Structure 1
């Protein structure tokens, strides 16, 4: 459960449509955006420029507002490479002029795709000669600040923040919220308090985001007294709309601070605040997750029964329920819900069977996990993500020979956007092959992974060097773990960072 408002970039609906395209038609779509999504069978590492140029060669046009919207949707699906490529094509091939928002968006994308050094170079370039000159205003400075926060570069962020103050770019709440997010993630609660005091001294009012960061920060330090003060402010302050989402957020914060009974009370209040059918569906998914986190299986099933009455089912709802039952150690219940999903899903989502595969492996039920993956394959639901999950399970629990065979199977399948080879699993497989003297087999595995687009070319080179003992293991594993702070508990990377990026870009 995330501690910040819903993420505008994590477009589940958009990505569901994307998945549907992969499994539906082979005909050439009429929409340019659909063609972009299907480029290279959905492989995010395949260039989309040929698709864009073909569209123009067919005598079709495309306006800048459409391209800007395409970039936004690609960011929602976390296809940052394609979003950046489209941004560069928009101003290069199409010769569209850039706004401050376009520059900010590109800065954020460069940071995600090429790293901070290239982002710094681009930021420096917008003050020099060329088309981007004159765009180093508050919005672009804010985008760079967000990049530093996204990469957890405290010193750079603090220096830029002070420079923004000198330029008069810190008159509102957004820059402060960006820095508060950084300090929260770095567990620097003292700096959070100092920054909040500075906001008060300067007369800069808070918003709901500010209060949520504060509540999350106090929850991390289990300061229940301060949490109650913030909670009181959230309920009494007209700035913060305490709807069901606000109470769900607060409940999760109190649960993390060990106040389970208080959290359950807040979840009850959240349920009473739900309005509207569509809102009810999303709210129930949150409630199921949090009741499971609080260990209340009875409430999980009660909310699930209410959810099913809505009649509109989504993969996300099933994923939510199955993952909750796995957390509650109810594997049998998870299997029943998964069978229900299998009998009626519209779009196959590999994340759902992956939940059961991980659960089986954690219980030592490896044959059951393998049989499940094979059954999915035999029924036409073969997917790289399920084989990868099985390989990770084998490797994690010391069955490396089986992990190698499973990894080979996964490597032979087409790449899927959003799924990544776990570097630690791949390292384990390569080590096993090297110890067996099968260096040729290690190279063959890397060849498959590279051909199918599972790893970038530069990463393939690093792993090839690792096979020869020329690359340290730490550089392969730590690089993946630190990639944009994915997987942080509490205030999630995507939640805070993407909303921040959208504000500046």
Structure 2
């Protein structure tokens, strides 16, 4: 059996250990095909998501190695597959800023998607506005539209779609995105109008159009709409009715409250699951049977899958999560024990699901016991795990414990991760009540790398300084540096707290 590995750590790791800290076996196989001193291997060895990979890229060139655009594009894709978007974005910028490679519209679209993941919509818009008009094409526009859909920003999405239409860049893809947006925001009538518009313009719906419509009808509890759509799909020679189609229909029935119809359709979907490459299908089925509270079917699917396939971490996670929906903690514990005995890649996200359930039920001894045992075995809990435990301590009125636990999350937090804001505020309030300026400053220092400094955070820090009778000039200076000018609320805090202090 291959050695068991831990997916965490900040230091440089041996090549094979780093490469095994991946998401899929396919990616692992791809990576190990590279020579020991390839650029890919060097970049993969930067396992801390907050560390920059630019020095590695610069050193590669300084060592006399050449680098081609195709190699950098492949490296960007691999970083995305590993969910290391910040590193992927650094490679993308380095490719054009330091190596002066010309970016194609596809390359620009990829960068826009990475900017959204790392920095958010404002930075996406800023970058988009700087793109030369001659380079803009389907890709960049589609990515910006997708970002607006993710943000549920109907006004900006519609305006951009209109611009795309005027530039003759409209397609079934852009229509699908708008339908998804209207579904998310409960605007069913606008979906119907889009369908009419597509028909008038001769734009044929594709399978994704139908998938979005099934979801939309499900959200709207429109059973007749789901069934009419399924009949229409069966008549369309371009559409293949597969397991996913029927599973989506089952989900729609479930959302509409038709449990029996959902179960019947889900069993039909089972019959269409392929014999190979079926991990996604089984995960979907496990999730839906859990949502439908069908414990017998849940175990039936699990037993079939786990005995016929090498079970991967994500499927274990689905099973544990589904059992917890049914309040079957003992069953979830048994599945976790099975995983502990046979995992190939240790990923703390799997046990974190059960730990979160322990926290929700205030079973602190079980949560602490699992975490302590894992640490003793050299495994490292994720920031999410510590954050969830801190939130549970707060709910249980154990504020000091909550603060110390949240600090453990912040120390190891990746730059894109965000803690529970309620626990953050409660921690700052704790320092304020204790008059602990040093503790508050250290806590705020931990918030800075993950971009969690807000006006509210600084206002808490101001109150702590004032109550401790400390000068506030340094706090106001840091506020201004971070773009938070003194406003009416800040002034009121300074006035009220000064009066209270005196």
User: What TM-score do the two structures reach when normalised by structure 2?
Assistant: 0.81
Q: Which residue of 2 aligns with 1:395?
A: 394
Distance 1:111 1:419 in 2: 14
In the other structure, the counterpart of 2:362 is: 364
- In the TM superposition, what is the alpha-carbon distance from 1:311 to its structure 2 partner? 4.2
Q: CA deviation at 1:402?
A: 1.8
**Do structure 1's residue 75 and structure 2's residue 80 form an aligned pair?**
yes
Q: 2:314 aligned to 306, 310, 316, which one?
A: 316
| Among candidates 51, 69, 76, match of residue 46 of structure 1 | 51
Counterparts in 2 of 1:444 and 1:119: CA distance versus 1, 3 Å: closer
> Does structure 2 conserve the Cα–Cα contact (< 8 Å) formed by 1:373 and 1:387?
no
> Counterparts of 1:165-180 in structure 2 under 5 Å?
165-170=165-170, 172-180=171-179
Matched, 1:468 2:475: no
Map Cα deviations across residues 217-256 of structure 1 (whole Å, 9 max, x no partner). 1111111111111122223322322111221222112111
User: Aligned equivalents of 2:446 and 2:128: distance in 1?
Assistant: 38
**Greater CA deviation, 65-74 or 180-189?**
65-74
Q: Give, in whole Å, the separation in 2 of the partners of 1:178 and 1:96.
A: 31
CA distance in 1, matches of 2:399, 2:239: 52
> What's the secondary structure of 1:147's corresponding residue?
helix
1:155 lines up with 2:155 in the alignment: yes
Deviations 1:254-311 (A, max 9, x none): 11111111111111111111222222x3322221111111000001111111111124
Give the equivalent residue in structure 1 for 2:243. 244
Q: Contact between 1:430 and 1:467, CA under 8 Å: does it hold in 2?
A: yes
What residue is the counterpart of 1:144 in the other structure? 144
Post-superposition Cα deviations, 1:116-168, rounded to whole Å, max 9, x if no partner, equal 443333333223xxxxx611233333333223223222212212212222222
User: Which residue in the other structure is 1:194 paired with?
Assistant: 193
1:37 to 44, 57, 64: 44
Q: 2-side partners of 1:261 and 1:369: how far apart?
A: 37
Q: Residues 422 and 26 from structure 1, CA distance in 2 versus in 1: closer, same or farther, beyond 3 angstroms?
A: farther
Specify the alignment match of 1:259 in structure 2: 258
**Contact 1:180 1:213 (C-alpha < 8 Å) held by counterparts:** yes
Which structure has the larger Rg over C-alpha atoms? 2
Q: Could you give the per-residue CA deviations for residues 34-77 of structure 1, whole angstroms, max 9, x where no partner exists?
A: 332332x322x322110111111222223212211222233334
- Tell me the equivalent position of 1:492: none
2:221·2:252 contact (CA, 8 Å) conserved in 1? no
Please tell me whether the aligned partners of residues 244 and 273 of structure 1 are also in contact (alpha carbons under 8 angstroms): yes
Q: Deviations over 1:155-200 (max 9, x none)?
A: 1221221222222222x31111121122112221111111111111
Aligned: 1:377 with 2:383:
no
Distance in 2, matches of 1:261 and 1:411, equals 46
Corresponding position of 1:275: 274
Q: Which runs of 5+ in 2 are unaligned?
A: 19-35, 464-475, 485-502
1:125 aligns with 2:130: yes
Q: Secondary structure at the match of 2:324?
A: helix
Residue 182 of structure 1 pairs with residue 181 of structure 2: yes
CA distance in 1, matches of 2:5, 2:372: 26
In structure 1, the gaps of 5 or more residues are: 1-15, 128-132, 477-505
Report the number of matched residues. 444
2: distance between equivalents of 1:92 and 1:176? 35
Instruction: Evaluate the alpha carbon distance shift between residue 242 and residue 398 of structure 1 in structure 2; reply closer, same or farther with a 3 A threshold.
Output: farther
SS class of match (1:241): coil
Q: Measure, in 1, the Cα distance between the counterparts of 2:267 and 2:335.
A: 25
Aligned-pair CA distance for 1:366: 1.7
Q: Aligned equivalents of 1:23 and 1:265: distance in 2? A: 51
1:469-484 correspondence runs (5 A):
none
TM-score, normalised relative to structure 1: 0.80
1:424 corresponds to which residue?
A: 422
Alpha-carbon distance between aligned partners in 2 of 1:370 and 1:225, rounded to the nearest angstrom: 50
Greater relative contact order (Cα < 8 A, sep 6+): 1
CA RMSD of aligned residues (A): 2.8
Inter-CA distance 429–26: structure 2 relative to 1 (3 Å threshold): farther
Contact 2:233 2:241 in 1 (8 A): yes
Separation in 2, partners of 1:102, 1:293: 40
Partner of 2:492: none
